[in-house]
Structure 1
Amino acid sequence: MGFAEEHMKWLVFHKKRRSGERLDRLERGHGHGEKIFVERVWWPIFGHMDDLHPEYEVSDWRGRPYFVDFVWKRGEIKVAIEVKGYGPHVQQIDRTRYRQELNRETYLQIAGYQVVAVPYDDLESASDLTISLFKSLLAPSLLINTDELEHHYTRLERDIMRAVVRWNGMIRPVDLANGLRVHPRTIRKSLTRLCEKGKLRPVPASGSSRICRYEYVPSIMNNGLW
């Protein structure tokens, strides 16, 4: 399934769990810049939107509700992400708003969030730079050492993921069976486990529910696999 379908499912998932102002804010606040960030930065890095919360409500230092463009929560890790355009405060027209924004960012860091500002213009013209910066920022929180990988994936599972990457991210079970010289039934069992672990997605044939291929889910956590 491609980005457009996954993005829609992700939004529907969060909308169903909200009401009132929180729902209204999501419908109004998740606009062009936020969608571009998810599509051009987050999706290429992770291949999914798990643990990423749009228009996330927090309280500022005055106890007033405030909505962050995105919050990524994974265990004890909390990252607040704001997509920033060339707004009035940059021209010093609205100094009060600018001052409050800086205070909110400081308060978020006090509350345990790592705050990241993403320039909107870079999403349009230099998304590769933003991707590189985010990989460097998040990698220490995500990378798994080699010993841990041995417990997360079997030898066959790692061989399958390598094969799928070599086939440009999409492969048929029959090609894996022939290329790895493993019984098709064993291949299918491993493919099912990798889907459950979020490393592959089943791709049905056009106009059918029959699974004919599997798609690789990219992630910076896979650096230790290769």
Structure 2
Amino acid sequence: MGNEETFRSFIQDHIDKRSGERRGRLERGYGHAESLFLRNVWWPLRGDFQHLHPEYEVLDWRGRPYFADFAWLPGRVKLIFEIKGYASHVRDMDRQKYCNELNREAFLHAMGYHVISFAYDDVERNPALCMSMLRMVIGRHQSSQSPITRVMLSENEVIRLAIQQAEPIRPKDVEKHFEIDHKTAVNLLRKLCAKGWLLPSYRGNRERIVRYELAHDFFRNLDD
């Protein structure tokens, strides 16, 4: 089955399962931005639409229905993805719409959803950046049924720890965070150096590595 047939089958499957406005929103035509996200970002990264729900209906803090662009619901994880264009979400937004959007996102977070927004311009022109961001987000919330390995999860978590600290990371930081021994922590940091994600920081005449810092190209590679 070709990609276009796969996309149409994905939408049609959700149409067949819905009724009322939930069905009508998909039957009236799926948005260009959302379709672009599927084609440029989600499909190249994931290769399937498992657990992904388009035009997902939830209630906002006022009890009114709200349709998110996508929801990814693999078990306990509840991620909402929004594709935001500059015109509708910035240029044409008034104060009340701005308040409503922030209130809705805070309410959804309180209800256990994590709202992730992507700029339409990036989805269209820089999908590699969106895929990198999406990979990190999903890796953070990956369910145990997914094929991602413990090593990959550990590596991603070390990078997140380094970013959160905003300073070079030490083996003892990794030991404390994961509750592992010194040798295991050092091996994990060395693997990330071999991948080019971290750089070692030496003490003295390059005799001993004491810290590890994010490689200068790490964020640049995300933006390539």
TM-score range with shorter-chain normalisation? Answer: 0.5 to 0.7
Q: 1:29 to 1:118 in 2, by over 3 A?
A: farther
Residue number in structure 2 paired with 1:130 = 130
- 1:38 alignment partner in structure 2: 38
Aligned partner of 1:217 in structure 2 is none
CA–CA distance in 2 between the matches of 1:134 and 1:81?
Answer: 10
Question: What SS does the corresponding residue of 1:112 show, helix, strand or coil?
Answer: coil
State the one-letter code of the partner of 1:133: M
User: What is residue 144 of structure 1 aligned with on the other side?
Assistant: 149
Q: 1:29 to 1:68 in 2, by over 3 A?
A: farther
Instruction: Report SS of the residue matched to 2:121.
Output: helix
Q: CA deviation at 1:102?
A: 1.2
Q: CA deviation at 1:74?
A: 0.4
1:19 deviates by: 1.4
Matches within 5 A, 1:106-185: 106-140=106-140, 141=142, 142=146, 143-145=148-150
Once the two structures are TM-superposed, the CA of residue 2 in structure 1 deviates from its matched residue by: 2.5
Give unpaired runs (5+ residues) of structure 2.
Answer: 152-224
Q: Cα distance, 1:92 vs. partner?
A: 6.2
Q: Which amino acid aligns with 1:44?
A: P
Separation in structure 2 between the aligned mates of residue 84 and residue 93 of structure 1, nearest angstrom: 12
User: Secondary structure of the equivalent of 1:77?
Assistant: coil
Q: CA deviation at 1:44?
A: 0.7
Q: For residues 125-177 of structure 1, give each alpha carbon's deviation from its aligned partner in whole angstroms, at most 9, with x where no partner exists.
A: 1011000111111113142337xxxxxxxxxxxxxxxxxxxxxxxxxxxxxxx
Tell me the equivalent position of 1:6: 6
**Matched residue of 1:106: which SS?**
helix
Secondary structure at 1:116 match in 2: strand
1:99 CA displacement: 1.3
Q: Does 1:99 align with 2:116?
A: no
Q: Please, what is the CA RMSD of the aligned residues? A: 1.6
- Give percent identity, aligned residues only: 46
Where do 4+ consecutive residues of structure 1 move more than 3 Å?
A: none
How much has 1:27 moved relative to structure 2?
2.9
Matches within 5 A, 1:81-92: 81-91=81-91
